[in-house]
Amino acid sequence: MKLPPLNALRAFEAAARLGGYVAAGTELGISSAAISQQVRKLEDFLGKQVFIRRNNGVVLTDAGDALFDGAREAFRLISLATERHASPRSNRPLVVSSIGSIAEKWLVPRLVAYRRTHSDFRFNLRIEPDPINFNGHDIDLRLGYDASQYSGMAVTTLGRDTVMPMCSPTYLQAHPELLDAGMAAAVAQDLLHTTWGPLFGSLPGWSDWYAAAGLVPDVVATGSQVGNSGATLDLARCGLGIALGQRMMAEADLAEGRLIALSAISVPLGHPYCLVHEVSRQNKHHMAGLVEWLTGGFDATGAV
């Protein structure tokens, strides 16, 4: 068989898939200069130019495009063969990484349900903020927010969650005026505000909801500040105020009556949630099944 230098071919495939030498070097754990050197080595072997350098990225030539299709399929087959023969698949857990806000209230119940129907499924769950660096961290599947942070990865969009006002039955009993006047009668000091932190700028707050509802609150900035969206729901469930809660996180509480929606008006989050993984891991045992399971458990309203 006439084979090109395989390290050079791997560097080329990564640079072509990710659109540049820097991203390819990050994925493979080497410098962008080393990627460039490997690409030149491949071009010398082939006697053809595979890339045109533009700005901070690369563009495939016609020869490079033809080579990329074959290289990508070849590495996919090698990955699949390795997955089948490296070790018993049932003994290796799937490493799932998730942002913290929806891990406990949305993801964990679905991992448990999937495990009950797939007895050989094993997983390790990691909670960490966006964005994460896949390189060197052995992450199989990531549940994140805003797919633009994961260029070059295989992305499955789940959907865009919404927020709406909700409170506990006991709170509603103590404030019967909400039954007649709705949120127009809400006490500003009882509003629970989620402080999303410095990494997020596209998540709605009470001012956004009141604007969407066409209401003018007294002083919307008053109330309690809570540093986690799950904790905001917990406080509302305990009767301490009104949460602007994420529907997908509150679905069980709403369905079982622990929380009550005070309005049908909702405001969408700035970006959809997404499932992300490296293309090379798409054939790992349970990957496709789990992605399908999680995708089927989400719609744009957060209902299941």
Chain position carrying tokens 């820097």:
22
Dmax of the chain from CA atoms?
Answer: 81
Tens digit of each residue's pLDDT (9 = 90 or more) over 41-83: 999 999 999 999 887 789 999 999 999 988 888 887 887 676 6
> Is the domain of 169 the same as that of 263?
yes
Give the residue numbers spanning the domain of 69. 6-85
Give the separation between CA 105 and CA 101, rounded to whole angstroms: 8
Residue 302 lies in a domain: no
What amino acid is encoded at 207 in this protein? S
Q: Same domain for 60 and 208?
A: no
96-106 pLDDT tens trace: 999 887 898 89
**68 is a domain residue:** yes
Assigned domain for 303 exists: no
Question: Which residues, in sequence order, are bridge partners of residue 270?
Answer: none
277 and 132: one domain? yes
Last residue of a domain, one of 63, 85, 107: 85
Per-residue pLDDT at 204: 87
Phi, psi of 165 (to 5 degrees): -75, 140
Residue 239 and residue 255 in one domain: yes
Residue 302's identity, in one-letter code, is G
Per-residue model confidence (pLDDT) at position 300? 43
| CATH code of the domain covering residue 30 | 1.10.10.10
Residue 61 falls within a domain, yes or no? yes
Secondary structure letter of residue 237 according to DSSP: H
In this structure, the answer to whether residues 106 and 77 fall within a common structural domain is: no
Summarised one tens digit per residue, pLDDT across range 142-160 is: 999 888 888 888 999 998 9
The number of domains in the chain is 3
3-state secondary structure 88-121: CHHHCCEEEEECHHHHHHHHHHHHHHHHHHCCCC
Contact of 239 with 170, CB cutoff 8 Å: yes
The full DSSP string for 138-177 is ---EEEEE-GGGSTTSEEEEEE--EEEEEE-HHHHHH-TH
Residues 49, 121, single domain; the answer is no
130 close to 199: Cβ distance less than 8 angstroms: yes
**Same-domain status, 279 and 151:** yes
Regions of the chain where pLDDT drops below 50:
88-90, 300-304
Flag whether 99 is in a domain: yes
Helices (H), the chain: 6-18, 21-28, 32-46, 62-85, 100-102, 108-117, 169-174, 177-181, 206-213, 229-237, 247-255, 287-296
**Contact yes or no for 152/195 (Cβ under 8 A):** no
Domain boundary residue, one of 68, 85, 102: 85
**282 and 152 in one domain?**
yes
Same domain, 276 and 155: yes
Residue 263's CATH number: 3.40.190.10
- What does the pLDDT read at residue 130? 83
Contact 271, 160 (CB under 8 A): yes
Tokens of 58: 């690369």
Cross-strand bridge partners of residue 144 = 274
Q: Do 170 and 245 lie in a common domain?
A: yes
Same domain, 48 and 66: yes
Q: Are residues 109 and 236 in the same domain?
A: no
Residue ending a domain, among 67, 85, 103, is 85
For residue 304, tell me if it sits in a domain: no
